[in-house]
Structure 1
Amino acid sequence: MLRRLRRHSSTVFVFLLFLLPMYLGILYVLKCGDPFIDNYIVQRDREPLEKYQTFLAVLVTTSSNNIEKRDAARETWLTHGNTSSVFKRFVVGIASADSSEISRLNRENREKGDLLLLPDVHDSYITLSLKVLHMLTWLDRNVDFKYVLKVDDDSFARLDVMEKELRQRNGETLYWGFFHGDAKVPKEGPLEDRDWLLCDRYVPYALGGGYVLSADLVHYIAANVDSLKLYRSEDVTVGAWLGPLDIKREHDVRFDTMNHSRGCSNQYLVTHKQSEKEMRKKHNQLKTRGRLCETEYRKAKSYVYDWEVLPSQCCKKKRGII
């Protein structure tokens, strides 16, 4: 009898030592969700316990397979400026991702800690407007910030200069970028947009390679999320959402955000359509020589937006503008 009790006591001890923590862990996950997954995937209908505090938020739209582009950004322009006052996330839609893809993204996030995974967004060009809507809504809900820079993963940004200039604005309402006002609505081809019925041209919008929104504009979008129309291009869509508002739209030629880079200028704040090699070259130039370009050059003409005329007359390209 005594031996049986001793064997029973040993079994209980083994259960308590090895199996009980596992059992309690399973109960926790069933009740509360996986704490690791919760850190990386947007949770539906869950209020944050506390908002992250920052001055400038940076949201980089990327796709699951673009890890080389993300690494290039991490090693170059995302290291500039006061990194303690900048909140950074690479945004990926995972609605179509399989389990191996999710595992790969989680491994990357364990190492880098800078992905924002959207479970309700299929990652493709035609869903980019929805992606921007979800990520701005998430940002409004989870982060206390003053401004957000939205950029593509093939853009190079001068965070140090941008943050310095934004701090001088004292939190003013701002929609800042390189504006397009005379864009015709494509009726065929890969950019075909049959949903735009307002007029024969798009309303003025900042090009999507990179633009800045103040927190109050992001809050406006998040507060009206159920009523907002999505169009083919995300930058067109943001311009349409903000179209009726009496806000400061600041066209800045230092945003090189057209569908091809206009060249290289040491004044550029955002340069779109950059390869990983070009990002590293610009980064090294800044570190060693304090300037962006080895040699400044211009491949395409630019324009100063004329807000005093109709949008169809706004954007006359001229030589001599960076």
Structure 2
Amino acid sequence: MKTHLAHLMFSKRLSWLNSLNKYKNMIFVGVAAFYLGCSATLSIMQMDCQCTATKIQKMTERVEYPVIVLSGPNNEDKRDAIRATWAKLANNIFVENGETLFKWNCNGTKSISELNIIKIYFIIGAAGLTDVQLSKLTAEQKRHNDVVLIDNLEDSYKNLAQKMLLTLTWVNEKLSGYKYLVKCDDDSFVRIDLIVKDLEAFGPDMSALEISKYVTFKSFQHTQPNNKKHRGLYWGYFDGRARVYQSGKWQEQDWFLCDTYLPYALGGAYVISSGIIDYVALNGQYYSTYRSEDVSMGVWTAALDNINRVHDIRFDTEWKSRGCDAHMLVRHKQTPKDMYEMYDTLVHSQGKSLCKNESTVRKFYHYNWDVLPSKCCK
């Protein structure tokens, strides 16, 4: 019985080996097909990954001069006033034979956004907004393609510094090819064409004779080698002796650095170069934020070596306007009506006159960079 069972098992094994030998070519082809299929699948997956990376890259928008306007959720009238007035001044900047040039051309046929030179972005915090507010802002973005909603930020005065920090992070991640960033508020009228013109011609040194009567900056001749180059630009209307508010809207409960604010460019508008943007965006997790975003910017940049801090009297950015002068690059604290009036005056004068009637309400000062900040601004 055992012998018969062993013989039967041997016969089955021999039959299986004969079948295996008979179909070995077919098995080989099947295994090869399996590996080829796996290889093709992996290749397709790799292609998919590469395509995804390309799509992500395409999401990055190229613009040389982003203009960041901090705006409120309900300020559509101010945003519309900017779109209809000084935003159009970007058409005065154009490229010819590879050079960026300025020419009065308010009715330019080509949109400046198509040239990747200047683009305006309205920054708004979206956290806590009602469905109606979000719906209106979404519709506004579809119409104009210039609204940036920060999802994790409640838009309020107390969050302005955090809003600026998140905005610079967004710029660092989503924009490419930028040289300088212009920051302003939605109640500022900005000669964006002349700002870009000066940056192209004189930045970052800003030491040209043509603008010497408007600007003051710290000279390196006593402390640095003559051939040392500026690594960045921080340009606006500076204050170095502003007292720290202990109460009210601007109260700084967490301020401990000294008994005055560190020198900073007033927030109605200022300009910072790409290296400063990158530095602040990449190190933002370590920064303290204060009640005022412009004060915070002064603190964030205080330790940076060899950036050119340029005070310019053409920036009318104090808490109250100093009046109107034809040479001004920025006028802060302006209503939509004021903006339409200034724009009409510019158009009718072919860019020569900003003001219907020039006036001086308050005096300006030249910043003295060679004395202590408390004595800077007489």
Please say whether Structure 1 and Structure 2 have the same fold, judged by a TM-score greater than 0.5: yes
Q: CA RMSD in A?
A: 1.4
Largest Rg, 1 or 2: 2
Structure 2 residue corresponding to 1:150, chosen from 178, 183, 189: 183
Q: Work out the CA distance in 2 between the residues paired with 1:109 and 1:47.
A: 21
Corresponding residue for 1:138?
A: 170
1:280 aligns with 2:340: yes
Corresponding residue for 2:9?
A: none
Q: Work out the CA distance in 1 between the residues paired with 2:280 and 2:168.
A: 8
1:98 to partner: Cα distance? 2.0
1:53 aligns with 2:85: no
Corresponding residue for 1:35?
A: none
1:169 to partner: Cα distance? 3.7
Q: What is the 5 A alignment of 1:292-311?
A: 292-311=354-373
1:96 to partner: Cα distance? 1.1
Q: What is the 5 A alignment of 1:132-281?
A: 132-144=164-176, 145-169=178-202, 173-246=232-305, 247-281=307-341
Do 1:48 and 1:141's aligned partners in 2 also have CA atoms closer than 8 Å?
no
Provide the secondary structure at the position in 1 that maps to 2:339.
Answer: helix
Q: Work out the CA distance in 2 between the residues paired with 1:170 and 1:281.
A: 30
Q: Work out the CA distance in 2 between the residues paired with 1:170 and 1:294.
A: 30
Provide the secondary structure at the position in 2 that maps to 1:174.
Answer: strand
Provide the secondary structure at the position in 1 that maps to 2:119.
Answer: strand
Change (3 A) 1:47 1:225: farther
Provide the secondary structure at the position in 1 that maps to 2:368.
Answer: coil
- Runs of at least 5 residues in structure 2 that lack an aligned partner in the other structure: 1-54, 94-111, 205-229
Provide the secondary structure at the position in 1 that maps to 2:270.
Answer: strand
Provide the secondary structure at the position in 2 that maps to 1:80.
Answer: helix
Change (3 A) 1:79 1:140: same
Q: Work out the CA distance in 1 between the residues paired with 2:240 and 2:142.
A: 42
Corresponding residue for 1:62?
A: 71
Report Cα offsets for 1:148-180 as digits up to 9, x if no partner.
100000000001111111112466610000001
Identity in percent: 41
Do 2:203 and 2:233's aligned partners in 1 also have CA atoms closer than 8 Å?
no
Corresponding residue for 2:214?
A: none
* Structure 1 residue identity aligned to 2:85: T
Do 1:59 and 1:90's aligned partners in 2 also have CA atoms closer than 8 Å?
yes
1:190 to partner: Cα distance? 1.7
- Runs of at least 5 residues in structure 1 that lack an aligned partner in the other structure: 1-45, 317-322
Q: What is the 5 A alignment of 1:18-97?
A: 48-81=57-90, 82=93, 83=112, 84=115, 85-97=117-129
* Structure 2 residue identity aligned to 1:297: S
Q: Work out the CA distance in 2 between the residues paired with 1:48 and 1:123.
A: 29
* Structure 2 residue identity aligned to 1:102: L
Corresponding residue for 1:24?
A: none
Q: Work out the CA distance in 1 between the residues paired with 2:337 and 2:329.
A: 18
Provide the secondary structure at the position in 2 that maps to 1:139.
Answer: helix
Range that drifts further, 81-90 or 236-245: 81-90
Corresponding residue for 1:122?
A: 154
* Structure 2 residue identity aligned to 1:142: K
1:188 to partner: Cα distance? 1.3
Provide the secondary structure at the position in 1 that maps to 2:252.
Answer: coil
How many pairs were matched up? Answer: 271
Provide the secondary structure at the position in 1 that maps to 2:122.
Answer: strand
Provide the secondary structure at the position in 2 that maps to 1:116.
Answer: strand
Corresponding residue for 1:312?
A: 374
1:61 to partner: Cα distance? 0.4
Q: Work out the CA distance in 2 between the residues paired with 1:161 and 1:298.
A: 22
Provide the secondary structure at the position in 2 that maps to 1:224.
Answer: helix
Do 1:48 and 1:142's aligned partners in 2 also have CA atoms closer than 8 Å?
no
1:73 to partner: Cα distance? 0.3
Change (3 A) 1:308 1:176: same
1:100 aligns with 2:160: no
Q: Work out the CA distance in 2 between the residues paired with 1:242 and 1:135.
A: 16
Corresponding residue for 1:22?
A: none
Range that drifts further, 49-58 or 74-83: 49-58
Provide the secondary structure at the position in 1 that maps to 2:66.
Answer: strand
Do 2:65 and 2:118's aligned partners in 1 also have CA atoms closer than 8 Å?
yes
Q: Work out the CA distance in 1 between the residues paired with 2:78 and 2:200.
A: 29
1:49 to partner: Cα distance? 3.9
